[in-house]
Structure 1
């Protein structure tokens, strides 16, 4: 079963507000941001109004054109040498109609940043991602269940609980749960700008 859902409403609203705030602070028109990002004015308008369900790649392009990255648009970062988030305060980013979900747990303030995600895929569910910019990669650690990694140019790779992997994400890729139990995994995404 392919999931037919997307970003959470609070995430879409937060990204839209942050894109508008950063665009206006930079003195950019929507057309200038469209030219710099390669994203249409119409899509940018929908993003700023919180009406779009953009891909991660689209959000990353807009973020790059604004001089930042996906994690900075998605999650409020606080300065400091040690920043701790209480349980339950992580940002819910994606969910599927089947009940799968992904949470952005933490993100670095370095550029490009690294983002720590906590994913749960229910049995039979999947997530298909668009290619990231060249040089991007993800690290995975399966906490429970069995995760199948899908990457263009590679056979499907099955990771049991406790297994870890590194995947170049500059190609089509995705995650799937072919098992009978939910799979929970953490991933660290390093998307170059």
Structure 2
């Protein structure tokens, strides 16, 4: 699962709700397994202090960190991130997972478990950038641009995706999303093999 490390979420209530939700779910799953904070921290590749802050909702971890902890708990990112939905909910607006001070944001719209896939809606403000961490080997992403021009900064060089066009990339590499234009870029993102 790719995820954001370039800029933390703002202090908006939606961002705080996300941080609080994942912290509570991580703590509950850790306790269900009878694991100490130290054991989960080691399994997830982070410090005990960072994990404690995440569980208390006092840290804003990168989404890649949340993904590593989810895997250590034998679950997935979406299970920790998405709010529980009432069966009567017909419209899903998405879960704000990342937001930058320039208005750029990422909404997780939904996910499946088997096979694993996630559907996202991204908006990058002019000059906006998101630097991703490599996903697990074999992971891929599909991007479909609704408006603006998305630049995918890949190890092999930049790839520009125009409105109405799609691109598939291997996400098990260093990469970034960029908006080099003067209007916002809005795109859909599907992650597979996470």
TM-score, normalised with respect to structure 1: 0.88
Unmatched runs of 5 consecutive residues or more in structure 2: 1-5
Instruction: State the SS of the aligned residue for 1:156.
Output: strand
Alignment deviations for residues 127-157 of structure 1 (CA, whole Å, 9 cap, x no partner):
1111112221111100111000012x21111
Aligned to 2:71, the other structure's residue is in SS state helix
Selected match of 1:121 from 124, 148, 157: 124
Gaps of 5+ in 1: none
Structure 2 distance, partners of 1:191, 1:130, is 15
Of residues 17, 33, 37, the one that matches 2:40 is 33
Q: Aligned partners of 2:84, 2:170: CA distance in 1, in Å?
A: 26
Task: Determine the structure 2 residue equivalent to 1:188.
Answer: 190
In the aligned structure 2, how far is the partner of 1:79 from the partner of 1:150? 39
Per the alignment, residue 96 of structure 2 pairs with 92
The equivalent of 1:42 in structure 2 is: 49
Number of the residue aligned with 1:23: 30
Matching residue of 2:110: 106
Is contact 2:8–2:62 with CA below 8 Å preserved after alignment?
Answer: no
Which SS does the other structure have where 1:23 is aligned?
Answer: helix
Report 1:1-193 matches (<5 A).
4-6=7-9, 8-76=15-83, 85-88=90-93, 90-110=94-114, 113-151=116-154, 153-192=155-194
Please report how far the alpha carbon of residue 54 of structure 1 lies from its aligned counterpart in structure 2 after TM superposition: 1.4
Summarize the Cα distance change of 1:36–1:126 in structure 2 as closer, same or farther, 3 Å threshold.
same
Change (3 A) 1:62 1:137: same
Structure 1 position 76, deviation (Å): 3.3
SS of 2:157 mapped into structure 1: coil
In structure 2, the residue corresponding to 1:59 is in which secondary structure? helix
Q: Residue 131 of structure 2 aligns to a residue in which SS? A: strand
Alignment size in residue pairs: 185
Q: Which moved more, 1:139-148 or 1:5-14?
A: 5-14
Compared with structure 1, are the counterparts of its residues 177 and 61 closer, same or farther at alpha carbon in structure 2 (3 Å cutoff)? same
The 8 Å contact of residues 55 and 130 in structure 1, kept in 2 or not, is answered as: no
Q: Secondary structure at 1:61's aligned position in 2?
A: helix
CA distance in 2, matches of 1:110, 1:47: 27
